[in-house]
Chains A and B, each alone.
Chain A
Amino acid sequence: MASVSLLFVTLLSVTLYINIKSFILWDQSQTFLPSLSDSVLMDRRFPFKVLEHIFSFVDSNEDRNSVSLVCKSWFETERRTRKRVFVGNCYAVSPLKVARRFPKMRSLTLKGKPHFADYNLVPDGWGGYAWPWIEAMAARRPLLEEIRLKRMVVTDECLEKIAASFRDFKSLVLTSCEGFSTDGIAAIASTCRKLRNLELRECIVDDLGGDWLSYFPETSTSLVSLDFSCLDSEVKLSDLERLLSRSPNLKSLKLNRSVTLDVLESLLRRAPQLVELGTGSFSDELDPEEISKLTKALSELKQLKSLSGLWDLLPEYIPVLYSVCPRLTSLNLSYATVQMPDLIDLLSRCSKLQKLWVMDLIEDKGLKTVALCCKELRELRVFPSGADLDETDVTLTEQGLVSVSEGCQKLESVLYFCVQFTNAALVSIAKNRPNFRCFRLCVMEPFAPDYRTQQPLDEGFKAIVERCKDLRRLSVSGLLTDKAFEYIGVHAKKLRMLSIAFAGDSDLMLHHLLSGCESLKKLEIRDCPFGDTALLENAAKLETMRSLWMSSCFVSFGACKQLSQKMPRLNVEVIDEHPPKTRPDSSPVERIYIYRTVAGPRLDTPEFVWTIHKKPEVGVSRLAIR
């Protein structure tokens, strides 16, 4: 907020200075300029055009939200000028309201299901439907150019509606969405003549075949990015080749796994301008001539900065990638089942790497190499390679992360899966890297203490939140008592998102968090032993947050009712797939999802979701329109 006010004061003073000068130099008929004696900063006669000009420098939606709170005229000016609209919870506000408020909207970003839906904690059919939004925008904002959805249910109908309604549609980015088929994609491809981005990131798609690719217009396309890596079925090679040949602006191409290695060379030849490449499968057998052709084709990609895909990468193909390594800023090896020491050959050549996603096959040794060679590293994610928890004979320990935190000065974002950890390691990591903004540690064994001292990991996480003053996102794991959360409450003042599982002792834990973490926006908790008291004591806090998720905790039905009555602008939703016949106040609730909203209870709840009614005697209501 301070930076915003400073910016405004500066801009206003600059503008004012110029105006004053011109006032002196120009004719006195320039009556629209405020006289010097007025309190000019908040003058209502300050022309819209000037405000509009100033606001055009304000990009971040957070700043824009602050701007719109200053006064009515600023609210009006801001809303008329906002082009990119972001709604973090699609149920927090109605589509109609959003459509009406922002007449110049060109881009809409929506998020639907709670984050824990990624881990199967939200049953199918929960909600997050894109249709009401698309319908509303189609009717009122036909100039919309971009739609970005995350964790929402998108149907073919939605996609067809988009294709039919927005004549300048340019960009569709769907992340972790579901509910549509390749037919819907074909509709977009064929109808949206100005399409630039079509990205399907980890979506669950009803894959009816690879024909959709042939629906792009026969004339040259305006495609800049195409990502179909989540689809299963094969696309025709000739379709893909021809598409690449007539898409001169294509900068990002992410193939799916069924694109085999032997055809990659021919594709790359047709798109040497690529900046981002996601390969298909990298394990098919090639003869030496094919290998050398592929090596050459890759070396021709002079602009390539990002490489991903690499499914089942075989060690003997690693040299093929050597030519692109020195330029890479982003490398995703998280589907490449390559082990040490082959990984070292690859990583030691990537000196410009800023983002690395890899599996625990990299081991501590590999991470040491990263610490030595990848000095520009900003983001590291290490995923477990074993499908079950049992596959733990890979030598990736806490040491790996310690080495990287020592060697990579710019490291600010980490996601690390590891079997067990120590407080000492966490303390070292915190000392080395106080610049963390995102720290997500997943100690895979629930309740695992520091394996050397058998103590809880409280002190380790204390060091993290104490030293990393800019921490925005934190995921904790391992054995943790209430103390850990006391530390988090006291120190993590900039923390916005916190994920907790299998931790804590009592209601104090939640109380520390809700009363201490000033910036907290999203809190998600599973399997922790507390509930009612802390929740009710800190009810007001919940309206300052986007959402709270609690599952398998000790929250009672009575507390949910009380909370809902107390806080009119919260939706308290109970998810219960095995509802009891009677619901006394003391009965526990399987899962609750609480979020602030100005749209009232939602009307599309399935039968296993109940929105607690505001009137106490009603208790539970299910407002469902079928």
Chain B
Amino acid sequence: MSYRLESVDKEGLGTSPGLKERNYFGLSDCSSVDSSTIPSADKKSSSLNFKATELRLGLPDSQSPQRETDFGLLSPRTPDEKLLFPLLPCKDHSASGNKRGYLAKSGSNNAPAAKAQVVGWPPIRSFRKNTMASSTSKNTNEVDGKPGLGALFVKVSMDGAPYLRKVDLGTYTCYQHLSSALEKMFSCFTLGQCGLHGAHGKERMSEVKLKDLLHGSEFVLTYEDKDGDWMLVGDVPWEIFTETCRKLKIMKGSDSIGLAPSAVEKSKNKD
């Protein structure tokens, strides 16, 4: 249930003197911070319809409640607009997306880029967040020495998708099974090529269902193992994979460079 901070098309704002562009979350996108001005307190008296230009916060397809009063929230955006991040993360993003919003996981330098998160929300102390982060990376599957007890749930996230899913690795028997299930799950988003391979060229999903116009790149399936390293899926035998996999991520092909590059090359050569 993640959400995004998004901005709306600003053309409608040009004509109204009372409505100013607002960076509701104190965005660190510096240029827009400078240009915004403070709205007057009696904006309610304006007769313009603010709804169309209203910025609302919500899940992309959800119906946010209709608000009578107008105030600046961020509305679902079209995919190609820039994500707006609050306050601090200007420098976080230049630091190769090490941090997951406010949650800094120590040691996982290959973690994928941060999702849009609000700084300091929910209000949990860093000590607790850091402790829980290292807890979950130890205990996600909780099947140490006890196969069969409990499901092998892992989170699956995808670049560009607004929320995560969870899959039970125990219900699949091989990579192909997993990949087709994931494909179905994420087909409403864009799913390009999955860099799954093995010795079986045929089992690779070669069809591109829906090319992502913005990113224009392939997607590869990666996972985080119990040491916190991000690897390409398909390198190890299935059984070992289910034991060591902690999280799955469908990444853009360009982001996966640096993760077992030889595997990527191998899959390309198998064409």
Instruction: Give the B-binding residues of A (Cβ under 8 A).
Output: 116, 118-121, 123, 176, 202, 204, 230, 257, 283, 285, 311-312, 334-335, 337, 383-385, 387-393, 417, 419, 442, 444-447, 449, 454, 479, 481, 499, 501, 505-507, 526-527, 529-533, 551-554, 556, 577-578, 580, 586-588, 590-591
Q: A119-B125, A501-B121 are in contact. List 13 more A-B contacts (CB 8 A).
A: A118-B125, A121-B119, A204-B127, A389-B3, A446-B3, A447-B64, A454-B65, A479-B65, A506-B44, A529-B24, A553-B26, A577-B88, A580-B34
Contacts of A553 in B (CB 8 A): 26
Contacts of B120 in A (CB 8 A): 116, 119-121, 526
B140-174 residues at the A interface, CB under 8 angstroms: 142, 145, 155, 163-164, 166
Q: Within the complex, which residue of A390, A499, A505 is in contact with B69, where a contact is CB–CB below 8 Å?
A: A505
Q: Within the complex, which residue of B24, B38, B123, B127 is in contact with A531, where a contact is CB–CB below 8 Å?
A: B38
| 29 A–B pairs (Cβ distance < 8 Å), ordered by A | A118-B123, A119-B123, A119-B124, A202-B125, A257-B131, A337-B142, A387-B133, A389-B2, A389-B3, A419-B1, A444-B121, A445-B3, A446-B3, A447-B64, A447-B73, A501-B121, A526-B120, A527-B118, A529-B22, A529-B71, A531-B38, A532-B41, A552-B86, A554-B22, A554-B39, A556-B38, A577-B87, A577-B88, A578-B30
Contacts of A204 in B (CB 8 A): 126-127
| Cα distance A552–B28 in the bound complex, in angstroms | 10
Contacts of B102 in A (CB 8 A): 119-120
Interchain CB contact under 8 A, A120 and B33: no
Residue B113 is within 8 A (CB to CB) of chain A in the complex:
no
Contacts of A591 in B (CB 8 A): 26
The interface centre, meaning the residue of B25, B38, B58, B133 with most chain A CB atoms within 10 A of its CB, is B38
Bitwise interface map of B from 38 to 78 toward A, beta carbon under 8 Å scored 1, else 0: 11010110000000000001100000110001011100000
Residue B139 is within 8 A (CB to CB) of chain A in the complex:
yes
B149-207 residues at the A interface, CB under 8 angstroms: 155, 163-164, 166
Closest to A120 in B: B120
| Cα distance A335–B1 in the bound complex, in angstroms | 23
Residue B17 is within 8 A (CB to CB) of chain A in the complex:
no
Min CB–CB distance B145 → chain A (angstroms): 8
Q: Within the complex, which residue of A312, A335, A384, A590 is in contact with B87, where a contact is CB–CB below 8 Å?
A: A590
| Cα distance A159–B133 in the bound complex, in angstroms | 30
Contacts of A387 in B (CB 8 A): 103, 129, 132-133, 136
Interchain CB contact under 8 A, A506 and B164: no
Residue B215 is within 8 A (CB to CB) of chain A in the complex:
no
Closest to A511 in B: B41
Instruction: Give the A-binding residues of B (Cβ under 8 A).
Output: 1-3, 22-26, 28, 30, 33-34, 36-39, 41, 43-44, 57-58, 64-65, 69, 71-73, 86-88, 90, 100, 102-103, 115, 117-129, 131-133, 135-136, 138-139, 142, 145, 155, 163-164, 166
Contacts of B155 in A (CB 8 A): 390-391
The 3 closest A-B pairs by CB, nearest first: A552-B26, A119-B120, A202-B127
Min CB–CB distance A451 → chain B (angstroms): 10
Given A119-B123, A527-B25; A388-B103 close (CB under 8 Å): yes
Contacts of A285 in B (CB 8 A): 145
Given A120-B120, A121-B119, A529-B71; A586-B37 close (CB under 8 Å): yes
| Cα distance A312–B240 in the bound complex, in angstroms | 24
Interchain CB contact under 8 A, A442 and B122: yes
Interchain CB contact under 8 A, A230 and B127: yes
Interchain CB contact under 8 A, A554 and B38: yes
| Cα distance A479–B64 in the bound complex, in angstroms | 11
Q: Within the complex, which residue of B1, B24, B34 is in contact with A552, where a contact is CB–CB below 8 Å?
A: B24
Min CB–CB distance B129 → chain A (angstroms): 7
Closest to A499 in B: B123
Interchain CB contact under 8 A, A532 and B38: yes
| Cα distance A257–B10 in the bound complex, in angstroms | 51
| Cα distance A588–B34 in the bound complex, in angstroms | 8
Min CB–CB distance A104 → chain B (angstroms): 35
Contacts of A393 in B (CB 8 A): 166
Closest to A311 in B: B135
Contacts of B44 in A (CB 8 A): 506
| Cα distance A391–B118 in the bound complex, in angstroms | 16
Given A312-B135, A552-B86, A578-B30; A506-B123 close (CB under 8 Å): no
Interchain CB contact under 8 A, B122 and A417: yes
Q: Within the complex, which residue of B71, B100, B126 is in contact with A120, where a contact is CB–CB below 8 Å?
A: B126
Given A335-B131, A529-B24; A389-B1 close (CB under 8 Å): yes
| Cα distance A91–B100 in the bound complex, in angstroms | 33
Min CB–CB distance B184 → chain A (angstroms): 20
Closest to A529 in B: B71
| Cα distance A517–B102 in the bound complex, in angstroms | 33
Interchain CB contact under 8 A, A334 and B125: no
Interchain CB contact under 8 A, B128 and A337: no
Interchain CB contact under 8 A, A444 and B122: yes
| Cα distance A551–B73 in the bound complex, in angstroms | 16
Interchain CB contact under 8 A, A446 and B71: no
Closest to A257 in B: B131
Closest to A415 in B: B123
Contacts of A481 in B (CB 8 A): 69
Closest to B163 in A: A390
Contacts of A587 in B (CB 8 A): 34, 37
Min CB–CB distance B71 → chain A (angstroms): 5
Interchain CB contact under 8 A, A176 and B128: no
